[in-house]
Chains A and B, each alone.
Chain A
């Protein structure tokens, strides 16, 4: 009964308090989200990735960098679930520890690029005039560049390595966030509650940070989640070429590169990390699609 009361309180059409309204909204969104099977699959995959990264030492069956020349290139078996590579390292354990690298890349890129894009877009949209024109001009120039190639060139200049790869990906992914943030800002800019707080003497900075940025977050979360797959693929590509994570780090793209030589006879070396990339990318796609459907239904399939 208490449960039913709780549910009614949450689904109340005319909430009595701000707290009730907020919790009601969250509850309704999670109800809609739970009804979407693919989105739930995506959520499970992403949670599994996080769990793998956090509990890697317990989930892995071997040391990811310990070499064992007697156990080179063994096919998948009960002892080595995904087989071993050319140095006798257990591929399953490397894939598990690789989750840490993938997660770190994804989070760092999001933390670097999204706020940068958000600030630039919100500033352009809110301030308007020449600030808008200059900022959006730069954004547009970046948007019409080939992102992957720019990232490659940038890493080449900075020097190979995982940090530089992350930096390069972040540098090439902020513009689309800036575009979204600007569009959102423009729709809110002339709303009455913004005008009201302006009348109360709030500064531009305060309005942008206090009112406009929070309103952009839901579409931003959707967009970032949808972009994750692309970020993972780019990072793996950099790793594959040899510009990303350096050995002996168990980065999935670099692992595929090492398996290239053995693709004909020891197929598992290159394919297993590939499956990991595919599953995780799909997870983010599903999750992003589901989040978009519940948080930002109007945007449709335009990404």
Chain B
């Protein structure tokens, strides 16, 4: 943007720059403001969608709550209690208010407030997905860079195959096969659950993250046991994020390596390592942050399928149980939570882009 009109002398350049500084901060602030607004709008959209799913799609939500053999009086009471006698828009406003204050209703299956359930199960999912994304980033980024730098090399071929596998293999199937191979046959890892039954309930949840809590309690046995249980599901999630991250890194890097300034760097006589990591890789850091954020969000979502397989007491498992019991309050609560985290990750990575990019600053 600044290079559109060349300024012949540095004096004019300097004046323009000084004036530009304030303008640019204002622009960045405006942009961040825009992201904040779109965050709020999108969250409202999410609430509208869950409202729609919960109140409009079922033929009669009251019937769904009381069952079809309930006496008429009970049914009517339920209708009034649910606010179904009011106009839809009033119901929506009530719903938004309830969600905003954390009132997600009661779960039919656990008999407890949905919010309280979610607070308990979410850390387990977070722990698994976080480890998964760390594996995906730690392996996927260097692999993608290497594949682009050495097109046609072994890494390049591996990434092609892994990238395709990431598209074509069902996560739940891979989890099942992984369990059969690495747990049952090879016994490299521990089986389903977060820890062995013998260790269950021994550490008091502080953060809800088993690895952290066991260390806080000084229980290294439990810590290593938890790693044994976490390893396989995290690696499987890691595999899917690796597939995506490596493929995107490779494609970004190929774009970069075709740029003129890469030739400039080579003209200077820089070693290939510097050309690749400093000149080609640094400009893709920002888009990569976005890719990793998207991948992280996708893992939180994808854990739904994995958790069932590994009897992992996280939000995915909670959601699946609720789905099968038609426990709509729990289903919608879990949907809202995953959706909110998903949206926030997305928007924060957008904002990060603006804050960190020297060209947007």
Q: Do A and B contact each other directly (Cβ–Cβ < 8 Å)? A: yes
**Which chain A residues have a beta carbon within 8 Å of chain B's beta carbons?**
137-138, 140-142, 144-150, 152-158, 229-230, 233, 236-237, 240-243, 253, 256, 259-260, 263-264, 267, 270-271, 274, 277-278, 281-282, 285, 300-302
A-B residue pairs in contact (CB < 8 Å), sample of 6: A145-B343, A158-B57, A277-B168, A277-B169, A281-B167, A282-B168
B332 CB–A CB distance under 8 Å:
yes
Specify which chain B residues have a CB less than 8 angstroms from the CB of A150 in the assembled complex.
49, 335, 339
Find out whether the CB atom of A240 lies under 8 angstroms from the CB atom of B338. Answer: no
Find out whether the CB atom of A274 lies under 8 angstroms from the CB atom of B173. Answer: yes
Find out whether the CB atom of B177 lies under 8 angstroms from the CB atom of A274. Answer: yes
Q: Would you give the 0/1 interface string for B318-341, flagging 1 where the beta carbon is closer than 8 Å to chain A?
A: 011011101010011011001100
A236 interface neighbour in B45, B170, B300, B320, Cβ under 8 Å: B170
B residues 162-204 near A (Cβ < 8 Å) are 164-165, 167-173, 176-177, 179-180, 184
B304 CB–A CB distance under 8 Å:
yes
| Interface secondary structure of A, over-half rule | helix
Q: Determine the distance from Cα of A152 to Cα of B309 in the docked complex, in whole angstroms.
A: 17
Q: Would you give the 0/1 interface string for B142-176, flagging 1 where the beta carbon is closer than 8 Å to chain A?
A: 00000000000000000000001101111111001
Find out whether the CB atom of B177 lies under 8 angstroms from the CB atom of A285. Answer: no
Find out whether the CB atom of B335 lies under 8 angstroms from the CB atom of A256. Answer: no
Q: How far is the CB of A297 from chain B (nearest CB, A)?
A: 15
Find out whether the CB atom of A140 lies under 8 angstroms from the CB atom of B42. Answer: yes
A141 interface neighbour in B41, B53, B324, Cβ under 8 Å: B41
Find out whether the CB atom of B339 lies under 8 angstroms from the CB atom of A149. Answer: yes
Find out whether the CB atom of B168 lies under 8 angstroms from the CB atom of A285. Answer: yes
Q: Determine the distance from Cα of A145 to Cα of B38 in the docked complex, in whole angstroms.
A: 13
Find out whether the CB atom of A153 lies under 8 angstroms from the CB atom of B332. Answer: yes
Q: Determine the distance from Cα of A187 to Cα of B207 in the docked complex, in whole angstroms.
A: 52
Q: How far is the CB of B52 from chain A (nearest CB, A)?
A: 9
Find out whether the CB atom of B53 lies under 8 angstroms from the CB atom of A154. Answer: yes
How many residues of chain B have a CB within 8 Å of chain A? 53
Decide: A240 near B46, CB < 8 A? Known: A152-B319, A281-B167: no
In order of increasing CB-CB distance, the 8 nearest A-B pairs are A141-B45, A281-B168, A274-B173, A157-B57, A146-B301, A282-B168, A153-B335, A301-B251
A240 interface neighbour in B167, B170, B322, Cβ under 8 Å: B170
Q: How far is the CB of B89 from chain A (nearest CB, A)?
A: 18
Specify which chain B residues have a CB less than 8 angstroms from the CB of A229 in the assembled complex.
167-168
B34 CB–A CB distance under 8 Å:
no
Q: How far is the CB of B332 from chain A (nearest CB, A)?
A: 6
Specify which chain A residues have a CB less than 8 angstroms from the CB of B305 in the assembled complex.
237, 240-241
Find out whether the CB atom of B167 lies under 8 angstroms from the CB atom of A156. Answer: no
B130 CB–A CB distance under 8 Å:
no
Q: Determine the distance from Cα of A144 to Cα of B343 in the docked complex, in whole angstroms.
A: 6
Find out whether the CB atom of A242 lies under 8 angstroms from the CB atom of B324. Answer: yes
B342 CB–A CB distance under 8 Å:
yes
Decide: A156 near B42, CB < 8 A? Known: A149-B301, A274-B177, A301-B251: no
Decide: A277 near B328, CB < 8 A? Known: A149-B338, A152-B323, A282-B164: no
Specify which chain A residues have a CB less than 8 angstroms from the CB of B328 in the assembled complex.
156-157
Q: A281-B169, A282-B167 are in contact. List 19 more A-B contacts (CB 8 A).
A: A138-B45, A140-B38, A144-B342, A146-B297, A146-B342, A152-B319, A152-B335, A153-B335, A233-B171, A253-B170, A259-B176, A260-B309, A264-B184, A270-B177, A274-B173, A277-B168, A278-B168, A281-B168, A285-B167
Q: How far is the CB of B114 from chain A (nearest CB, A)?
A: 13
Q: Determine the distance from Cα of A120 to Cα of B7 in the docked complex, in whole angstroms.
A: 45
Decide: A240 near B342, CB < 8 A? Known: A150-B335, A157-B57: no
Q: Determine the distance from Cα of A270 to Cα of B302 in the docked complex, in whole angstroms.
A: 20
Q: Determine the distance from Cα of A154 to Cα of B343 in the docked complex, in whole angstroms.
A: 19
Find out whether the CB atom of B172 lies under 8 angstroms from the CB atom of A237. Answer: yes
B247 CB–A CB distance under 8 Å:
yes
Specify which chain A residues have a CB less than 8 angstroms from the CB of B298 in the assembled complex.
146
Decide: A149 near B335, CB < 8 A? Known: A157-B54, A241-B308, A274-B177: yes
B residues 279-328 near A (Cβ < 8 Å) are 297-298, 300-302, 304-305, 308-309, 319-320, 322-324, 326, 328
Decide: A137 near B57, CB < 8 A? Known: A149-B339, A152-B319, A153-B50: no
Q: Determine the distance from Cα of A138 to Cα of B326 in the docked complex, in whole angstroms.
A: 28
Specify which chain A residues have a CB less than 8 angstroms from the CB of B300 in the assembled complex.
146
Decide: A233 near B339, CB < 8 A? Known: A271-B177, A300-B251, A301-B247: no
Specify which chain B residues have a CB less than 8 angstroms from the CB of A281 in the assembled complex.
167-169
B176 interface neighbour in A147, A156, A263, A277, Cβ under 8 Å: A263
Q: Determine the distance from Cα of A226 to Cα of B53 in the docked complex, in whole angstroms.
A: 28
Q: Determine the distance from Cα of A137 to Cα of B172 in the docked complex, in whole angstroms.
A: 33
B20 CB–A CB distance under 8 Å:
no
Q: Would you give the 0/1 interface string for B43-76, flagging 1 where the beta carbon is closer than 8 Å to chain A?
A: 0011001100110011000000000000000000
Find out whether the CB atom of B170 lies under 8 angstroms from the CB atom of A256. Answer: yes
Specify which chain B residues have a CB less than 8 angstroms from the CB of A267 in the assembled complex.
180
Q: How far is the CB of A256 from chain B (nearest CB, A)?
A: 6
Find out whether the CB atom of A145 lies under 8 angstroms from the CB atom of B339. Answer: yes
Specify which chain A residues have a CB less than 8 angstroms from the CB of B109 in the assembled complex.
none
- Chain B residue, CB-CB nearest to A243: B323
Find out whether the CB atom of A241 lies under 8 angstroms from the CB atom of B320. Answer: yes
Q: Determine the distance from Cα of A236 to Cα of B57 in the docked complex, in whole angstroms.
A: 23
Decide: A263 near B173, CB < 8 A? Known: A156-B326, A281-B167: no
A156 interface neighbour in B41, B170, B301, B323, Cβ under 8 Å: B323
Q: Determine the distance from Cα of A125 to Cα of B322 in the docked complex, in whole angstroms.
A: 41
